Amino acid sequence: MTERVTADMWFDPICPWAWITSRWLLEVEQVRAVDVRFHVMSLSVLNEGRDLPEQYRELMNNGWGPVRVCIAVEQQHGSDAVRKLYTALGTRIHLGKEQLGPELYAAALTDVGLDPALAAAAGSTDYDEALRASHEAGMRPVGQDVGTPVVHAPGPDGSPVAFFGPVITPAPKGEAAGRLWDGVLLVASTPGFYELKRTREQGPIFD
């Protein structure tokens, strides 16, 4: 049997494209010998000091809340709890179209059997040092010119590779998810390969 490997994905709960990629990775787990661990990056950290459109700046201001809650959960309950919380948050944010705020965070925590009082972390700077460290760990191998999703994984020869993306919609299912995984690893592990891109013609599809 093929030995299972671990792939690590860095996400911000507010990003719809990261959400779709995360659902794809859960499909990959079912058809390839891959276990996925989820970690927190922050679009709010990434965009600090940048000149942003007013609407996006407001989103970045609100974006501190959910990542702080995720870091608090990671510190108190571990990475498995973060994985479950990400699913709960993403389901409410992207499928349910719920507004960011304490009520959403408390409800998502309750969904996964965690203390809803952890929602208070959203308004606290106590976890910001750990948040920035998690963000840096994810972004360091890929640079600051990208956002989320970021994935770190062993390449075809076992050497570590890191990349932004893939940005996809909708998430492939079954063996199609596995084939995309194989292809992404192949190009990402090619020395000197940096970019493969085309214009997006549709928005996120959450099915």
Q: Is the pLDDT of residue 25 over 80?
A: yes
- In whole angstroms, give the CA distance from residue 8 to residue 151: 6
pLDDT in tens, 122-135: 999 999 999 999 99
- Residue 7 pLDDT level (bands cut at 50, 70, 90): very high
Q: What's the chain's length in residues?
A: 207
> What average pLDDT does range 22-26 have in this prediction?
98
Residue 1's pLDDT is 57
SS (H, E, C) the chain: CCCCEEEEEEECCCCHHHHHHHHHHHHHHHHCCEEEEEEECCHHHHCCCCCCCHHHHHHHHHCHHHHHHHHHHHHHHCHHHHHHHHHHHHHHHHHCCCCCCHHHHHHHHHHCCCCHHHHHHHHCCCCHHHHHHHHHHHHCCCCCCCCCCEEEEECCCCCEEEEECCCCCCCCCHHHHHHHHHHHHHHHCCCCCCCCCCCCCCCCCCC
- In whole angstroms, give the CA distance from residue 108 to residue 122: 13
Percentage of the chain lying above the pLDDT 90 cut: 88
Residue-averaged pLDDT of the chain = 95
pLDDT in tens, 164-198: 999 999 999 999 999 999 999 999 999 999 988 89
